[in-house]
Amino acid sequence: MTRSTAVSFFAPGPRLILLLALWLLATGSALAQQDSLGGIASKLSRYQQKGPYEKLFLHLDRPLYLSGETMWFKVYAVDGTYSKPLELSSVAYVEVLDAKNQPVLQGKVSLKNAHGAGSFALPGALASGSYTVRAYTSWMKNFSPETYFSSAVTIINTFTVSGAAPAKDSASVDARFFPEGGNLVKGLSSKVGFKVTDRAGKGIAAEGKVLNAQGAVVATFKTLRFGMGSFTFTPAAAGTGAYTAVLTLNKNQTVTRKLPQVYEQGYVMRLQPSGPDQLMLSVDATSTQPETVYLLAHSRQKTAVASRLQLLNGHAALAIDRKQLLEGISHFTLFTADQKPVCERLYFQPTARRLAIAARPEKTQYTVRDKVSLQLSTTDQQTQALSANLSMAVYRMDSLNSGSAASIGHYLGLTSDLRGTIENPEYYLMATGPEAAEASDNLMLTQGWSRFRWEQVLAPAPFAHLPEPVGPLVQARLTHPGSDQPRTGVIAFLSSPSRIIRLSNSRSDDNGIVQFEMNHFYGTQDLVLQTDPQQDSTCRITLLSPFSTRFASATVPAFALNTSFQPDYTRRHVQTQVQNVYYSKYRNRYVVPRADSLAFYGKPDESYLLDKYTRFKVMEEVLREYVPGVVVRIRKDGFHFLVADKLNKTIFSDNPMVLLDGVPVFNINKIMAMNPLKIQKLEVIDARYFHGAAMYKGVVSFTTYKGDLEGFQLAPQVLVQQYEGLQLQREFYAPRYETAQEKQSRLPDMRNLLYWNPEINTTAGAPSTLEFYTGDQAGRYLVVVQGLSDTGLAGSTSFTFEVKQAL
């Protein structure tokens, strides 16, 4: 008989396998038959089942911060296909990156029920500039960094604003050209999308013409909305640089750019509306021989159209019902008969489904230190009440806070499936008519991308990163000393000194990687990584960072201090410093999660609180007098413990797993030399204990009063390293002015952020009521509410109110 129990952190095993198996059952039926595309659609469906599409969205409390302030955020985790809350990951990795993609802040945020909340205290020395806040999960690291959530924020260091010089203006212009379907092909008419932007990424107006090698004009064009547009022409020559675009900007500035390479042979795909509810897709090829090609359209990995096309005289066409496509962005991909992708085109269908959030205060004007009460309710578009999970921020508007933060509806419905920064995403979701449809089409032509490469789908390889369903995975690499050659098949042990006894083990794979799944691991703690010296005493252990080292190609918006905003810089600086002086004690208050105090081995067979017994000064006497389940033996190499196997009524011949505050100790002599007066508790498991990749001949666990090893010296080959676990959730503090005495308090209240609540739950019944108080600053305040329903409807709303000084 063997003994086992639930553990608080352990190596990935059956639980993770079961979770993925349940995902397979939940996402679709078995694919017993091949589809009409030679198996392409089936392979995509299998890929979708094996690789769940996960997205994160962060609601940031404000678009601009001062160094020294606190950045607050709410994390929403959703299924990327239908935007429903997805409980695949329990950890979100959030980073603040500077303009060079160097992380200045990093944190691990706990996700429960597909959402979580976190914060960053921005260092006072942080330089002014544009920064990027990005977020992803371990599972998302298997895909392009373009899939990570990303949002630009501005941080200003007001200690240096007065002496900082504005950034030099730049007249640089970015002009790019994108053939529909992917390539320009000689002799085939092609639609070419283009985008012209300034150095800040904003679209600018331009007119242009396309010249051939002889300087003759073969096409003209003009930008439409947001600096984008398209034109059609037929290349008559092949090669790189066969055609040049000359653009004329405002102030008669001229910019010249080469068009993409023109190929001698290939395919061109065209997608255009052919009726109110129909699209027409046409394919042209240079070859006039009959040829079979495949067309597959998918909406975020959900197959919508799968059709076999026969090219006759180099041409084929297919009518498509728009109702076959999901709302949002769909990908149309053309494959040759040997399953090689040759053309891809994006199409956007605005969503009509969104979460309607009703949020209004009882009045539009307040005095300082006044109570604000508002009611929140959530419905669908048909005003049917829905339950939803929301977050809300209330902050003072001024010239610095004039920008807007990312919206969950815009992100999930559009921008998360596109590359780069989208100017005014609300336009594409709300505007209607021919102009809006043309603008959306130009956006699809110029900023499309794929979450995956088709090579991954058609010839899938194992995913490198596992999901983290119950806690963060800690990874380390074992190598031979003095080299990077991996040590394989070696069991490593992970622990953290504590009165809560936790231990994990893992066997190194072919790359020398060991990984440990950790649960309820919060804050910064010491991790202890080691191997059993009897198995391996020389390997080098390197703890690996869980943060991604790949970055999206999007550029950070240019930053420049505006001298006309100097009064606002000064005002915000004074406000922030006043808050830091009078309310600093409230800045770092945390909600401490409840921890499971049960040891990883469960209830012990023997437990001794040594203060209840006569205290001895020698450890050997303690064990011989009080602990009948542990036999002490002295051999040539020193002391050994032999645990009584009560189940089989015998004694194990080998040492048990000996722990000190949860840390394995393989040298029994060192334990025996320890002062027993430092030990508060001793526990024994008197049976074989199977634990992950290891089997122990019993367990003997010593616990000190403080759980900090009490100065015990670990072996030199043991790796001890500080490691930051999950963020402790910082409490948002705001004064309340419920009584006359509180309103007359002489403590100044200069809050810029009046209120932040990341956890608001509405029900299908009565509206939810929220209350907060204004501060001492008069002005206009913006309320932003965002959230997600259980059914996957995303929505946001905002409104303003005034605060005036009392008469």
* Tens-digit pLDDT profile for residues 620-669: 999 999 899 999 999 999 999 999 988 888 999 999 999 999 999 999 99
pLDDT at residue 703 tops 50: yes
Q: How confident is the model at residue 17 (pLDDT cuts 50, 70, 90)?
A: very low
DSSP 319: E
Looking at residue 682, its pLDDT comes to 96
* Tens-digit pLDDT profile for residues 76-101: 999 999 999 999 999 999 999 999 99
Q: Please name the residues in contact with 314: beta carbons below 8 A apart, sequence gap of 6 or more.
A: 284, 285, 286, 287, 288
The percentage of the chain sitting over the pLDDT mark of 90, rounded to a whole number, equals 73
Residue 235: inside a domain: yes
pLDDT at residue 19 tops 60: no
- Is 489 in contact with 696 (CB distance < 8 Å)? no
* Tens-digit pLDDT profile for residues 361-377: 889 899 999 999 999 99
Does residue 461 or residue 662 have the better pLDDT?
Answer: 662
pLDDT at residue 570 tops 90: no
* Tens-digit pLDDT profile for residues 98-153: 999 999 999 999 999 999 999 999 998 999 999 999 999 999 999 999 999 999 99
Looking at residue 25, its pLDDT comes to 44
Looking at residue 23, its pLDDT comes to 46
Looking at residue 353, its pLDDT comes to 86
Q: What is the mean pLDDT of residues 603-627?
A: 93
Looking at residue 758, its pLDDT comes to 97
- Is 135 in contact with 56 (CB distance < 8 Å)? yes
3-state SS assignment for residue 232: strand
Does residue 218 or residue 250 have the better pLDDT?
Answer: 218
Backbone φ and ψ of 11, nearest 5°: -75, 145
Residue 433: inside a domain: no
Look up residue 301 and give its two tokens.
Answer: 């990995």
Range of the domain at 229: 184-263
Rounded alpha-carbon distances, angstroms, from residue 363 to 311, 547, 558 = 66, 46, 39
Amino acid at 288: T
Amino acid at 534: Q
Q: Please name the residues in contact with 36: beta carbons below 8 A apart, sequence gap of 6 or more.
A: 306, 307, 308
The percentage of the chain sitting over the pLDDT mark of 70, rounded to a whole number, equals 94
pLDDT at residue 169 tops 70: no
Helix then strand then coil, in percent of the chain rounded to 5, is 15, 40, 45
Does residue 12 or residue 305 have the better pLDDT?
Answer: 305
pLDDT at residue 9 tops 50: no
Looking at residue 163, its pLDDT comes to 39
Residue 239: inside a domain: yes
Q: What is the mean pLDDT of residues 452-468?
A: 86
Q: Where are the beta strands (DSSP E) in 679-740?
A: 679-691, 694-704, 719-724, 729-730
Residue 503: inside a domain: no
pLDDT at residue 35 tops 80: no
Distance, in Å, from the CA atom of 547 to the CA atom of 203, rounded to the nearest integer, reads: 33
Q: Please name the residues in contact with 739: beta carbons below 8 A apart, sequence gap of 6 or more.
A: none
Q: How confident is the model at residue 168 (pLDDT cuts 50, 70, 90)?
A: very low
pLDDT at residue 765 tops 90: no
Element (H, E) at 708: none
Residue 245: inside a domain: yes
Q: Which of 56, 57, 66, 94 is nearest to 153 (CA)?
A: 66
668-672 long-range contacts (CB < 8 A, ≥24 apart) are 668/638, 668/639, 668/640, 668/641, 669/638, 669/639, 670/712, 670/713, 671/619, 671/639, 671/702, 672/619, 672/620, 672/632, 672/638, 672/639
Backbone φ and ψ of 722, nearest 5°: -70, 140
Task: Give the domain CATH number at 254.
Answer: 2.60.40.10
- Is 489 in contact with 508 (CB distance < 8 Å)? yes
Look up residue 167 and give its two tokens.
Answer: 């950034």
Q: Which of 54, 286, 226, 272 is nearest to 147 (CA)?
A: 54
Residue 361: inside a domain: no
Residue 214: inside a domain: yes
Looking at residue 473, its pLDDT comes to 94
Q: What is the mean pLDDT of residues 31-44?
A: 68
- Is 539 in contact with 741 (CB distance < 8 Å)? no
Amino acid at 40: I
Distance, in Å, from the CA atom of 32 to the CA atom of 103, rounded to the nearest integer, reads: 47
Element (H, E) at 578: helix 566-583
pLDDT at residue 34 tops 80: no
Q: Please name the residues in contact with 117: beta carbons below 8 A apart, sequence gap of 6 or more.
A: 72, 73, 74, 75, 109, 391, 729, 758, 759
pLDDT at residue 7 tops 50: no
Q: Which of 284, 304, 303, 302 is nearest to 293 (CA)?
A: 284
Q: What residues form DSSP beta bridges with 349?
A: 328
What average pLDDT does the chain have?
A: 90
Looking at residue 275, its pLDDT comes to 85
Amino acid at 320: I
Look up residue 240 and give its two tokens.
Answer: 């790189």
Looking at residue 8, its pLDDT comes to 38
pLDDT at residue 800 tops 50: yes
Looking at residue 161, its pLDDT comes to 55
pLDDT at residue 46 tops 90: no
Q: What does the angle CA 328 – CA 334 – CA 338 come to, to the nearest 5 degrees?
A: 140
* Tens-digit pLDDT profile for residues 774-791: 999 999 999 999 999 999
The count of domains in the chain is: 1
* Tens-digit pLDDT profile for residues 227-271: 999 999 999 999 999 999 999 998 778 999 999 999 999 999 999
pLDDT at residue 55 tops 70: yes
Biggest CA–CA distance in the chain, Å, is: 103
* Tens-digit pLDDT profile for residues 142-167: 999 999 999 999 999 988 754 344 44
Residue 68: inside a domain: no
